[in-house]
Amino acid sequence: MRLVWVELCKLLRLPSARAGVALGVLCAPAIAAVSAPSERSAAVDVAFLELTFGVIGAILLGVVAVSSEYRDDGEDSASTRQIVASLTAVPSRMRFLAAKAAALSLTVATTAMLATVIMLTMLAGTGEDLGPGVVGRGVGLIVYWVLTALIAFGITLLTRNGVVPLVVLLLNSSVISFTYLLSRVVPAANYFPDLAGPHMFLRRSPTGVEIGPVTGGLVMLGWTVVLLAVGAFRFQRSDA
């Protein structure tokens, strides 16, 4: 527990991580404020779709949790790679990594919960019916954010540098979704984590392929476990 607390402090004192939390909390309400209400879908469905975009905050947190350890400002700087300090203080790499993943999950889960509560409260305030199963959908969204952050974390363990995972993952979940485009051609692409995961909280599939919420969650969990395992293996084996 002590190490989780330490990793929480390390993460939340970084300006970029704070930006990730702010993005996550504020993104969905901001989109909701500027987008016109849709007549074809229920307001609560639109709200959950908008909450999907807040996942960019989770991605930022997942990437920064790792890339901040490897940031190197060059020989003339007093600031050097934090990983050296981290591993001389906590030499067991798996304990270190587990604490870091736990701290990241806690941060992202809290951020997602705040975002969901704010969004749904805004919605309920306008007299909208939140519909049945809204709690389950909310939990699904939180799980989606946490798993996305852990996927970003796992990928950054492989690259060490945050730029590539940040650009690829943020582009894919905001401006242009490569996986979505691919799914138009290859149906199996629907099982990419960013397409399977949202079935946990979206009623209507954006791609037209129906995957149950539990199946969607399990598919995403599978991706997360594999990417984390590969990242952890590399972290354990390679020189810091």
Partner 1 sequence: MCGTARSGCIAGVIEIENVSKRRGRVTVLDGVSFVARPGRVTGFIGPNGAGKSSTLRILLGLDHAQEGRALVDGSPFTALRRPLTCVGAVLDGSGAHRSRTGRAHLRWVAASNGLSRRRVEEVIELAGLESAANKRVRGYSLGMGRRLGLAAALLGDPGVLVLDEPFNGLDAGGVRWVRELVRTRARAGGTVLLSSHLMSELAEIVDDVVVISGGRIAARGTLDTVTGEHGSLEDAYFALTSS
Sites of contact with partner 1 (CB under 8 A): 2-3, 5-6, 9-10, 13-15, 68, 71, 73, 76-93, 237-240
CA 219 to CA 199: how far, in whole Å? 10
Could you tell me the CA-to-CA distances from 135 to 44, 57, 92, 147, 201 in Å, in that order?
Answer: 12, 22, 39, 18, 10
Helix and strand tally (H, E) in the chain?
11, 0
Q: Which among 45, 49, 66 is positioned nearest to 144, based on CA atoms?
A: 49
Residues 6+ apart with CB under 8 A from 76: none
User: 100 or 137: whose CB is closer to partner 1?
Assistant: 100
Min CB(83)–partner 1 separation in Å:
8
To partner 1, the closest distance from the beta carbon of 159 in angstroms equals 18
Of 70 and 180, CB closest to partner 1: 70
Cβ proximity to partner 1, 9 vs 181, nearer residue: 9
Cβ-based nearer residue to partner 1, 6 or 218: 6
Shortest Cβ 57–partner 1 spacing (Å) = 18
CB of 60 to partner 1, least distance (A): 15
Q: How far apart are the first and last CA of the chain?
A: 24
Q: Is residue 11 within 8 Å of 107, Cβ to Cβ?
A: yes
Nearest approach in angstroms of CB 65 to partner 1 is 12
Phi, psi of 37 (to 5 degrees): -65, 135
| Residue (5 or 178) nearer to partner 1, CB | 5
Tell me how far, at minimum, the Cβ of 115 lies from partner 1, in Å: 25
Please say which residue, 88 or 126, places its beta carbon nearer to partner 1.
Answer: 88
CA nearest to 152, candidates 85, 220, 207: 220
Angle at 222 between CA 221 and CA 227, to 5 degrees: 100
